[in-house]
Amino acid sequence: MKKWGILIICLVAATSILAACGSNKDTNGDKKTLTIGMSADFPPYEFHIKNESGADEIVGFDVEIAKEIAKDMGAELVIKDMIFDSLLNELSSERVDLVISGLSPKPERAEQIDMSQIYYNAEQSIVTLTENKDKYATMESLEGLKIGVQKSSIQEDIAKGIAGANITSLAKISDIIMQLTSGRVDVAIIEGPVAASFVKNVEGIVVTDAIPDTGEEVKGYVVGVKKGNKELLDQVNTTLDRLIKDGSIDKFVTEASALAEK
């Protein structure tokens, strides 16, 4: 009987060890995945490049942050590229686990999803044709103009606050720039580093001296998590704490900005 007792204890211990080793796998024994939703037309946050092998790859500093969150969770990262204004619905429907896509902490978004701490701050910019830089140097000068913005973005909210604005809301930043260069809109409101990236790569456009005010409550960018998923939210914030404290996010921004300029 003692031998059987020892054998049972050994079997229980072995089972516990195997269970612990498989804690990062799903019920089928496969490694668990972390699916991130983002709109990859937002350099230097997330954008497409041809890598050294000639294959399409999504890169950017939001991507690097996503990699770190997945690494800390022992999960394989999966990126889903989609239209910006569909991201929150995809999150609420659990088709993605997180949204990392230059997401600002608008109060109305807090009613739909949970949001991480702010991991990066950036100002908004007004972009126009080079010859109109001085003409549109103040926010007052934008009244009554045709303004291009990304749909469902904080920039769209800013445009709605400009008297007489004729707003064109589009899914992709590249389409907004095309509207600007073809004269279909007079100016575009774009997040600062993104605007700087396009100005360096598209001839004939420039950032003006006008400075949009987003209000204190919506400054910065956050990671979106499904409402009520506190465990995942805590994990995200733990990773962000580490990346902020050790300077990794600043490093990611610098590297992604340099890559976007190429």
Convert the pLDDT of each residue in 114-139 to its tens digit.
999 999 998 899 999 999 999 999 99
8-17 pLDDT per residue, tens: 344 444 433 3
pLDDT at 229 exceeding the cut of 60: yes
Indicate if the pLDDT at residue 79 is higher than 60: yes
pLDDT over 80 (residue 22): no
Averaged pLDDT for residues 140-145:
98
Tell me the per-residue pLDDT of 81-104, one tens digit each, with 9 for 90 and over.
999 999 999 999 999 999 999 898
Q: How far is the C-alpha of 246 from the C-alpha of 248, rounded, in Å?
A: 6
Q: Name the class of domain 32-120+220-261.
A: alpha beta
Average pLDDT over residues 69-89: 96
Of the candidates 252, 87, 93, 216, the residue with the CA atom closest to the CA atom of residue 153: 87
State the chain's mean pLDDT as an integer. 88
CB 260 within 8 A of CB 141: no
What confidence category does residue 257 fall into, taking pLDDT thresholds of 50, 70 and 90? confident
User: Is pLDDT above 70 for 57?
Assistant: yes
Average pLDDT over residues 239-257: 94
Where along the chain do the CATH 3.40.190.10 domains lie?
A: 32-120+220-261, 124-216
Question: The pTM is what?
Answer: 0.76
Task: Report which of 195, 173, 36, 194 is spatially closest to residue 100, judged by C-alpha positions.
Answer: 36
Burial state string for 63-77 with b = 16 or more CB within 10 A and e = fewer than 16:
bbbbebbbeebebeb
CATH number of the domain located at residue range(s) 124-216 in this protein: 3.40.190.10
